[in-house]
Homo-oligomer: A and B are copies of this chain.
């Protein structure tokens, strides 16, 4: 199958450091190539892939210092459109800018929504372009938009990687991600202090969150149990998570997936997570960790986590959250799209026809005289 993967441009694919969506795109792309598909990846020029790479910008925009990504995304999407007839399926990971240009080829497109949908800002577009098929990454993510054109729910997956070793000395709790109010690193710090167990925080600080870091978190770092180690790359994560007693995931927002939970799972490390967003869909309570709703429960769960069977955590990962499973889910949806679009009867009834493609030149070409007030179409009232 000829598949286009269209990545965001914030980070390279895979990202050099932080960047959830681009990592998913990378894992999915590599897995699809591995399965024998003809894959083209539209992404930043510093991406690394076994697929054919179309370099939309020289490098990932965040590390390149570009703050507004709109122009770069529009240019990439125009290139996708130019090459569109070369693909059986175009898989977008860029939210919504593609909707106008691809609405009339929606039968061959799907869009995975990677972000939260509980803010009303984006809702108009899903209503205005109801033909665009959408993939959610959790059932919880869909709640604010139950009536959207959901094609499937596909949970994220990771490359399986080697089985974690059993020789680690595990003597700390881990917090991994972004320093942001909704991620609640303050809760993680509180849990570690009350449990009397060291906490290592590996996290980036976005410019938008600098204030929160400076005023709320930084003052709490000056404690013998708390260590802030900054942003870490993918290659450091496995050891960071694998050597931990447990991952703390004390979120306070509707996290649409929560990749770090399954990254911990892959290393056999259980997670202690707040009951928000996708958490109950990702975690197997009592097997891969514990779902809590208070600091007190979290401190108890830290003790219980020590008794969980880490091989079972890993096994549950292999059953539910590999990239192979994720890619198979997507391929099934791609095939479904193609079967349905091949059955489309090539006759449009006038009333059902989509609006004619915009070509104002037609109006100018068909006229005689000065003709500038003549239009081949009637104006809608």
Say if the beta carbon of A346 comes within 8 Å of chain B. Answer: yes
Given contacts A77-B100, A86-B379, A121-B66, contact A361 B342 (CB under 8 A): no
Say if the beta carbon of A221 comes within 8 Å of chain B. Answer: no
Q: Which B residues are in CB contact (< 8 Å) with A68? A: 119, 121-122
Q: Which B residues are in CB contact (< 8 Å) with A107? A: 360-361, 364
In the assembled complex, 29 residue pairs joining A and B whose CB atoms fall closer than 8 Å, in A order, are A1-B372, A2-B373, A66-B121, A67-B119, A68-B122, A71-B122, A71-B124, A74-B97, A74-B124, A74-B125, A75-B125, A78-B128, A81-B100, A83-B380, A84-B360, A85-B356, A85-B375, A85-B377, A86-B377, A97-B97, A100-B101, A101-B358, A104-B358, A104-B359, A105-B360, A108-B360, A211-B211, A338-B372, A357-B357
Name the residue on B nearest A98 (C-beta).
Answer: B100
A103–B77 Cα gap in the complex (Å)?
13
Contact, CB under 8 Å: A82 / B355: yes
Name the residue on B nearest A69 (C-beta).
Answer: B121
Say if the beta carbon of A371 comes within 8 Å of chain B. Answer: yes
Beyond A74-B128, A101-B101, A107-B360, 8 additional pairs, beta carbon < 8 A:
A68-B119, A70-B96, A70-B122, A78-B128, A82-B380, A86-B377, A101-B358, A341-B360
Contact, CB under 8 Å: A125 / B88: no
A70–B100 Cα gap in the complex (Å)?
12
Contact, CB under 8 Å: B83 / A124: no
Given contacts A358-B102, A364-B107, contact A128 B75 (CB under 8 A): yes
Contact, CB under 8 Å: A358 / B105: yes
Q: Which B residues are in CB contact (< 8 Å) with A36? A: none
Say if the beta carbon of A150 comes within 8 Å of chain B. Answer: no
- A315-353: which residues lie under 8 A (CB-CB) from chain B? 338, 341-342, 344, 346
Contact, CB under 8 Å: B78 / A129: yes
Say if the beta carbon of A170 comes within 8 Å of chain B. Answer: no
Q: Which B residues are in CB contact (< 8 Å) with A175? A: none
Q: Which B residues are in CB contact (< 8 Å) with A362? A: 85
Say if the beta carbon of A162 comes within 8 Å of chain B. Answer: no
- A222-266: which residues lie under 8 A (CB-CB) from chain B? none
Given contacts A101-B100, A341-B361, contact A373 B88 (CB under 8 A): yes
Contact, CB under 8 Å: A84 / B341: no
Contact, CB under 8 Å: A358 / B84: yes
- A87-129: which residues lie under 8 A (CB-CB) from chain B? 87-88, 96-97, 99-105, 107-108, 119-129
Name the residue on B nearest A340 (C-beta).
Answer: B364
Q: Which B residues are in CB contact (< 8 Å) with A169? A: none
Contact, CB under 8 Å: B105 / A359: yes
Given contacts A74-B99, A85-B377, contact A341 B355 (CB under 8 A): no
Which of A69, A99, A372 has the largest number of chain B CB atoms within 10 A?
A372
Name the residue on B nearest A379 (C-beta).
Answer: B86
Given contacts A66-B120, A68-B121, contact A361 B104 (CB under 8 A): yes
Name the residue on B nearest A377 (C-beta).
Answer: B85
A364–B82 Cα gap in the complex (Å)?
17
Q: Which B residues are in CB contact (< 8 Å) with A81? A: 100, 355, 358
